[in-house]
Structure 1
Amino acid sequence: MITSTYRLQISPAFPLDAAVAVVDYLARLGVGAVYTSPLLTAAPGSAHGYDVVDPTRTSRELGGEEARLRLTSAAKAAGLSVVVDIVPNHMSVAVPSTNPWWWDVLRNGPASEYATYFDVDWSRGPILLPVLGSDSLDDLAVHDDRLVYFEHEFPLAPDTAGGSPQEVHERQHYRLVNWRRGNAELTYRRFFDITTLAGVRVEDPAVFEATHGEVLRWVQAGEVAGLRVDHPDGLADPGGYLRRLRAEAPDAWLVVEKILAVDETLPASWPVDGTTGYDALREICGLFVDPAGEAPLTTLAADLGHRPPDNGPVATETAAHEANLAADRGLRPPEIQRTGDHRQNPPVATEAVDNPPEPSSPSGSVETGGRRPTLHEVETECRRLITRTSLVAEMRRIAALANVAPEAVAEIMVAFPVYRSYLPEGLDHWTAAVAAARRANPHLVADIDTVDDAVRKDPRGELATRVQQTSGMVVAKGVEDTAFYRWTRFTALNEVGGAPDRFGVTPAEFHTRATARAAGWPGTMTALSTHDTKRAEDVRARLAVLSELPGEWAETVKRWSAEHGIDEPALNNLAWQSLVGAWPITADRLRAYLDKAAKEAKVRTSWVDHDEAFEKKVNEWPGKVIAELGAEIGAFVERIAGPGWSNALGQKIVQLAGPGVPDVYQGTDLFDLSLVDPDNRRPVDFAQRQEFLSRLEDGWLPDVDATGAAKLHVVRQVLHLRRDRPDLFTGYRPLTTQGPAAEHAFAFSRAPELVVVATRLPVKLAGSGWADTVLPLPGGPGNWHDLLTGKPVDTGQEPRRAVLGDLLSHYPVALLLRGNR
């Protein structure tokens, strides 16, 4: 049984032997399993491993099979299991020569033995490879039986050499085209909008065996005890895939990277232990947000707004793609007219996101009648943007299957209430999407009904499969990677799987959901930080403090913005929150983050079309602000740092001791103030952690301070207890505090002998103190003591109660055990 995991990002900079070197530390910390990023051969230099090129062998760049065995042996000797991340949905084709299967497909076309391994639409002719910088083929060359375009090399089909490079090119099973055509005309399924990651058909048993044989060998040899499955929503039949995987690994711990909507659950037919924990992340982090901050922070977002720019590269890009769709019978006349509107205002203009527009000014593409649009409205428009720019090829391909307008398909995608349905399960989600699409586009009802009828008649057919595979892309790209960078009212909530329009989570809601998790999904993973989170757990914990100080924060950020604001309201609001959340931060780190945020938002610039002048201003902003406001920023952060540490410890103990199998992302055993990748993949100082751990083992009780040693102490105590006494971590029972500060304590028990206590809303608590607030404890024989301080708990007479002022005098959290330690 896996009691907890510790996630390690294995890379050429931190290879498998580096992981071997920290196994002893993890064992001493109390970890139950070493949990690694993908280990199979990935694209050369890959820093994450999700771009696999050869699933049949361990990456030599990571140390190869010998190093993998050293890790599994070291883990076994230390009493730890090993959990590995796997990537069934796609493979990298960025450098064709490194992917032997793809290379053979390019060389031999439909006759290749791997032709059915990749999700290629051979009916549309040669594979389109969007790599050219223009429409010209003048830079092609032929060298050593390869077609060459600068650093790109491609194989030649047998007996196709001779003549000019352009003539040779015409004889191949592929066509090199302008990179801009990739989003509109691609002939193979990809991962989201990344043309260098080609979709794999694991629904084919032969492909499943070829792609999973090596990993399953590890499982069957007892070297790997668990698998984390990446992106199941991209698969043709996630349920069928997981049932096959379970049959091959009947005793393995299986968790899936499934992003659930707030009230969504995993399909009952999936034989898995649960998700990778984003649902728990939302609930745990939201517990420490003050709902009273919602209205003032909403007003602040409006106060920071201004009119959007009149034009920009993203508006131009959107207009061009919409024109392409219109020419392909995809867009109705009103949408063609909207193309003209987009030339004046970027879609979902920032003004419409964080500021109600002036009555006499255009409001972008979100029609709200002058009011501030809801998050749902912003998300909807962002999804439309994605279907008309990044995923045009997918819309066309699906529409052709039903002989309908691509816009009809797109509108169903836009309306999905969840990431995807899993027909015939989850028919209500499909029905809701179709109904919403009908309401939004009455003139497209006939086409929408055509799609609906075909999908219902054959829920396992190609049309239904393609729609479902693609809807997850639309939602993820439209919401997480666009809307969450535009709707920046309070970014502590803007997390993968989050619900930024739900301002926090009440204790009652948390208790309800935790009780359900303990009963229904006790083996699910829980997480606070991952390699994909947009900001680390301790950044969110500090930002949660702003919800208790909205007036002070509003006054401060408006003053700062008056002199140093970024000329794009949503990014400006995000930048100030990121600066104080991650402080102290270097200008280089913040510069990289804001560059990524601006391009993901797609308001003033994007990854595809750059506004160089705007990007230059954004790149200059961190250095200038840190130099001119550094002292003032530091003073503000000092004001909120302590409450932030309290929130961080509260989040961590609730996660670690709560229902599910908790994961500790690398480095977050101390306070970690990282932002989105690659910032959260920086090297971890394990030597510092080992030094602190040795002192803790000698009885050190660290103070709560910037070193983060107090967090390491909490992690060590809870993980050791989970590993040594798994019987204590069963069930879930809410506990209620009594007294004037009752709302500031959150408590629950697992087994009756174990109680967890955390402090909420520490800023407001500081104004009143605990006074005579108490926590009634579960009845039963034996005395209580706090495992964090080692002190007995004075519970008085029956019924026993802990006085919170005494209990939480050293740490803002407590881990109470009744009976012998």
Structure 2
Amino acid sequence: MAKTPGSTYRLQLHKNFTFDDAASIADYLKTLGVTHVYTSPYLQAAPGSMHGYDVVDHRKVNEELGGAAAHERFCARLRELGLGQVLDIVPNHMSLGEQNRYWWDVLENGTSSRYASFFDIDWNSAEERLRDKVLVPILADQYGHVVTEGGIKVVRRGSAFTVEAAGQALPVAPESLFAILNKAAEYAKSDTLNFLAASYGRLPYPDLSDRRTTLARHRDKNVLHRLLDRLCGEEIDICEAIDRTVKELNANPDALDAFLTQQHYRLAYWKTADQQLGYRRFFDVNTLIGLRVEREYVFDETHALIVKWLKQGMLDGVRIDHPDGLRDPLQYCQRLRDRAPDAWIVGEKILEPGEFLRDTWPIQGTSGYDFLNAAMNVLVKPEGLRELGRYYEKFTGESTDFPVIVHDKKIAVAQEALGSDVNRLTNILVDICESHREQRDFTRAEIRRSIREVAACFSVYRTYVMPDREEITDEDRQIIDRATQCAKDNRPDIDGALFDFMRDVLQLKVRGANESEFVYRFQQFTSPVMAKGVEDTAFYCFNRLIALNEVGSDPSHDGISLAQFHEYNSTMQHTHPETMTSLGTHDTKRSDDVRARLIVLAEVQKAFAQTVRRWSRRNAHYRTGEFPDRGTQWFLYQTMIGAWPISAERLREYMQKAMREAKVRTSWVANNEAYENAVNQFIDSILGDEEFVAELEEFVSNILLAGRINSLSQTLLKYTAPGVPDLYQGGELWDLSLVDPDNRRPVAYELRRKLLAEMEGLDAAGVMARMDEGLPKLWVIRRALRLRERHPDWFGREADYVPLLANGTKSGHVIAYRRGVYVLTVMPRFWMTLRGDWGDTSIVLPDGNWKNVMTNQTMPGGTIRLSELLREFPVALLTREG
């Protein structure tokens, strides 16, 4: 039977950190106190994958990680140590490529493929030239230019034929071989080859619903391939004739074009993808195609190994990647739950401020972004943050109206990167309007603009309206009402009746097959609009305090109050007490320690603003013309403060990614080399300036302790708040990583082993004396994990969450709460402002004798001053003795 984790430790597996590598540190993780190893996806991924989300084969374990044998060794080692296992799984999409047998079969056979229904492909495109074809946008130039210049070739290897272009190989439609083999038969004067050519040409071309004929076609095709292979092996002149024909074909652009037209795909310039792609992707990644996992046979085919491992108990749980991309997330979760009733299941559901996971989903909770943001926002000082915003606006001259930035970036993403998704939705809504006489005169252009506008006005990732089950909640109705009213207000140039009609379709007031399809697809569309428009664009444009620019956050909010933080935790204890609590993931924009240091800037906002102004003046001679601009400087200096020490190479790589994500002066698809080079030169120059570096180090040293205490506070919050705490690899010591791939750098586990062993002989004072090595953070984690390991019920479903309020002049600097009757947690906030002076601030401990796990100090119930409680160590974890 699966076991709910007491805690998890996230490992990122890849070719440089394999199953055997993970097995080699399992004993360290056991000693640390975690109960479950939580790994990145490890089904067969695309070659060279560094993350595992680009699955190409669900039937096997990733060979680059060591394959099935190494996987078994890894699992055996976990069993030997008594460690459980949680796996990240990817139901929404697969990676394209020759290794993906489903995709290869689709490219080869089109709608006659056995797997044509596995993928979310629009076979009935509004464009005649793309009907029953898949657009393959891989060419570096216009198709005609590439064909004329010989950039596309047909290649024979044995009896197999491929089309090769842009470094990729694609299959050849079997029926199109008639043209090659028929001519080759003439050259070789071979009746047998002529017969095979005719047989290929006569292969049936059934549609998606004709399963019987599809299977017959597949059988006949394989027979013909075997016969051709035998013939080529027996008669050398046959091969020579075929090669002669292929060579002539490749040398004749007109003939080659005619041959390529017979394929079930259309090769195209890579820039066509944004507007013409005919399949649903993972966000805007062309190489990740959407799966129709809502079809039960697709679910069973792609989840066979995962379900097997869950039933065997080899896996105790799974994390569902991007459930909002699914057509019917509730159905998916229920199907998974039915097959693994005891599994611990969490979903990577991104919740916006004030939003909670739907209680109808039969899973334990989310992957923890909501907790991350609650823990961070309760530690940031609101009034300082507001003042910092005024300094930011004055220094940069940039807008601080975050909602306006978000709207503009979401519109831009919908117009550009997600244009093909908009076109597909537009086609459906045009057909719907055509069938309703009062809406039939709305133009395609108006409909396209209205779809973009409503999507940009969504305040959350998506709604969960299910037409097939007549399901719509009041929450969904309100979200749709607000979005459509916002769209009407924003676009008075569009007839408001069109927005009203869209609202009625989305709220199931207008019904029909097309209407249902529009609802499903629109809900799958708003998620990537939010992710790409906000997280991957606006978060790099609104830079008041970049620590707050985190997944699921609204960085324009001025933090949250203690009452709001306690209310959030109380809600989670009541609704999802076994959700995951996390401070860092493979997708966070910055590590928890970088964020913890940066939020101190809201307490030294005036000094920071003055410092940035001074640095801007003194470093002006390092600029190239106007670059880097003031907005980039504000972002850069925050990054350097948060991640210091950082090498020039790491900083350059990070800034390039940040600048391209912002899409202001450069982007991934249109690199502004002059701008990027200017920023790189600026970075090299200021890091080579010893006087500037000394100033930077002095500023960091002034906030260093406050940042570290913030880190200890949020770490203890994670291990004692409602939920299952997760630790991202390496985060048990100070970790100043930035966004991926920076956060996938090798972890020094031997150092961590050494420090963990040395720490066992230290007391709190000894640990604090080794602050720079990260021992206080390791101390908090080890002590909290040990307590959770010994008494899991003290933190479980029955352990109530009860806020405790401090008394005295500095009471607003205290976060305290009780879990059940045995555990009490106390930690500071706004340390830089407090500077250790607690004054008369105190807290009342419940009756009984209490022991501080962090210091071994014991104390009776009753009033205790914070200056005494936190004298030896900055945070306190108390347990009731007896």
TM more than 0.5: yes
In the other structure, the counterpart of 1:99 is: 100
Corresponding residue for residue 651 of structure 1: 714
Deviation at 1:742, TM superposition (A): 1.8
The answer to whether 1:806 aligns with 2:868 is yes
Aligned match of 1:626: 687
3-state SS of paired residue (1:75): helix
Identify the match of residue 496 of structure 2 among 445, 449, 455.
Answer: 445
> How far apart, CA to CA, are the structure 1 residues paired with 2:585 and 2:120?
29
Deviation (angstroms), 1:569: 3.3
Match of 2:200 in 1: none
SS of match in other structure, 1:711: helix
Alignment of 1:747 onto 2:816? yes
- Residue 439 (structure 1) shift: 2.0
Question: What is the letter of the counterpart of residue 47 of structure 1?
Answer: M
What residue number does 1:435 align with?
485
Quick one: which amino acid aligns to residue 707 of structure 1?
E
- 1:363-414 CA-to-partner distances (Å, cap 9, x unmatched) read xxxxxxxxxx521111011111111111111111001101052111111101
2:414 is aligned with 1:387? yes
**Could you say what secondary structure the match of 1:468 adopts?**
helix
Specify which of 403, 423, 427 is matched with residue 376 of structure 1.
Answer: 403
Output the amino acid matched with 2:488.
R
The aligned residue for residue 505 of structure 2 is 454
Give the alignment partner of residue 842 of structure 2, picking from 770, 774, 793: 774
Give the distance between the partners of 2:700 and 2:146, measured in 1 at CA: 56
Q: Deviations over 1:726-782 (max 9, x none)?
A: 12111111111122322222111102221111111111211x712332210122x3x
Partner of residue 618, structure 2: 563
Inter-partner Cα distance in structure 2 for 1:232 and 1:570:
35
**Which residue of structure 1 lines up, in the alignment, with residue 772 of structure 2?**
706
Give, in angstroms, the shift of residue 700 of structure 1. 4.8
Partner SS state of residue 146, structure 1:
strand
Matched, 1:416 2:507: no
Q: Does the CA contact (< 8 Å) of 1:58 and 1:65 recur in 2?
A: yes
1:563: Cα distance to partner? 3.4
User: Which residue identity is paired with 1:132?
Assistant: L
Give yes or no for the alignment of 1:765 onto 2:834: yes
Partner of 1:116: 117
Query: Partner amino acid for 2:292?
Result: R
Could you tell me how far apart the structure 1 residues matched to 2:628 and 2:871 are?
46
C-alpha deviations, 1:422-465, integer Å up to 9, x for none?
A: 00232221222122212222324233333333332349821101
Check whether the contact 2:359–2:575 (CA below 8 A) recurs between aligned residues. Answer: no
1:255-299 deviation per Cα after TM superposition (whole angstroms, max 9, x unaligned): 000111111111222111001111111110111111121232112
Residue 4, structure 1, aligned to residue 7, structure 2:
yes
Hey, what's the Cα distance between the residues in 2 that align with 1:458 and 1:63? 51
Within the alignment, does 1:31 sit opposite 2:69 as a pair?
Answer: no
Take 2:681 and 2:67, find their aligned partners in 1: how far apart are those partners?
42
Q: What is the rounded CA distance, in whole Å, between the counterparts of 2:603 and 2:146 in structure 1?
A: 60
Return 221-230 or 161-170, whichever deviates more. 161-170
- For residue 661 of structure 2, the aligned residue among 600, 610, 617 is 600
**Corresponding residue number in structure 2 for 1:335:** none
What is residue 301 of structure 2 aligned with on the other side?
210
Kept after mapping to 2: 8 A contact 1:486/1:571: no
Please state whether the residue corresponding to 1:269 is helix, strand or coil.
Answer: coil
* Unmatched runs of 5 consecutive residues or more in structure 1: 307-350, 354-372
Structure 1 contact 408–444 (Cα < 8 Å) conserved:
no
Q: Are positions 1:134 and 2:135 aligned together?
A: no
Alignment partner for residue 423 of structure 2, among 371, 381, 396? 396
Match of 1:166 in 2: 257
CA contact (8 A) 2:763 2:855 kept: no
Q: Which amino acid aligns with 1:180?
A: K
Amino acid at match of 1:587: A
- Determine which structure has the larger helix proportion and give its number: 2
Pair 1:151-2:167 in alignment: yes
- Aligned counterparts of 2:413 and 2:346: Cα–Cα separation in 1: 29
Alignment of 1:655-674 (within 5 A): 655-674=718-737
Contact preservation (8 Å) 1:738, 1:773:
yes
Q: Distance in 1 between matches of 2:558 and 2:20?
A: 44
How many angstroms apart in 1 are the aligned matches of 2:41 and 2:522? 28
Q: Give aligned pairs, total.
A: 747
- For residue 658 of structure 2, what is the amino acid of its counterpart? A
Cα distance in structure 2, aligned partners of 1:650 and 1:509: 17
Q: Secondary structure at the match of 1:97?
A: coil
Give the distance between the partners of 2:359 and 2:343, measured in 1 at CA: 18
Q: Structure 2: which amino acid aligns with 1:638?
A: S
Name the SS of the counterpart of 1:778 in structure 2.
Answer: strand
Alignment of 1:292 with 2:383, yes or no, is yes
Is the CA contact (8 Å cut-off) linking 1:753 and 1:778 kept in structure 2? no
- Bigger drift between 223-232 and 728-737 goes to 728-737
Q: How far off its partner does 1:697 sit?
A: 2.6
Q: Aligned to 2:53, which of 45, 50, 54? A: 50
Q: Distance in 2 between matches of 1:449 and 1:122?
A: 30
Distance across 2 between alignment mates of 1:420 and 1:481? 17
The amino acid that maps onto 2:818 is S
* Contact 1:421–1:468 (8 Å) recurs in 2: yes
- Please tell me whether residue 524 in structure 1 is matched to residue 585 in structure 2: no
Aligned partner letter, 1:450: F
Q: Is the partner of 1:385 in helix, strand or coil? A: helix
Show the counterpart of 2:216. Answer: none
- Give percent identity, aligned residues only: 40
Which residue does 2:608 correspond to in 1?
553
Shift of 1:506: 1.4
> 1:642·1:705 contact (CA, 8 Å) conserved in 2?
no
Letter in 1 for 2:117: T
Q: Distance in 1 between matches of 2:424 and 2:33?
A: 51
For the residue of structure 2 that corresponds to 1:196, the secondary structure is strand
Q: Distance in 2 between matches of 1:444 and 1:567?
A: 43
**Does the CA contact (< 8 Å) of 2:643 and 2:738 recur in 1?**
yes
Counterpart amino acid of residue 491 in structure 2: N
Look up the equivalent residue of 2:642 and give its one-letter code. G
AA aligned opposite 1:413: A
CA contact (8 A) 1:649 1:711 kept: yes
Query: Residue by residue, what CA displacement relative to the aligned partner does 1:115-145 show, whole Å, maximum 9, x if unpaired?
Result: 0111111112211111111112321111121
CA distance in 2, matches of 1:564, 1:64: 52
CA distance in 1, matches of 2:686, 2:317: 46
Shift of 1:561: 1.6
Normalization by structure 2: what TM-score?
Answer: 0.83
| Superposition deviation, residue 33 in structure 1 | 0.7
Structure 2 distance, partners of 1:514, 1:76, is 33
Paired residue type of 2:373: R
Contact 2:636 2:655 in 1 (8 A): yes
CA RMSD for the aligned pairs? 1.5
Instruction: Work out the CA distance in 2 between the residues paired with 1:586 and 1:168.
Output: 53
Cα deviation code 1:205-230 (max 9, x no counterpart)? 11101111111111011100010000
Query: What amino acid sits opposite 1:82 in the alignment?
Result: Q
State the distance in 2 between where 1:470 and 1:524 align.
Answer: 26
Q: Which among 254, 261, 271 is matched to residue 362 of structure 2?
A: 271
| 1:699 Cα deviation from its structure 2 partner | 4.1
Find the structure with the greater CA-based Rg. 2
- Normalised to the residue count of structure 1, the TM-score between the two structures is 0.89
- d(CA) in 2 for partners of 1:86 and 1:227? 7
**Structure 2 segments unaligned to the other structure (5+ residues):** 126-130, 181-248, 251-255, 431-443, 466-471, 621-626
Counterpart amino acid of residue 687 in structure 2: I
The answer as to whether partners of 1:275 and 1:525 remain within 8 angstroms in 2 is yes
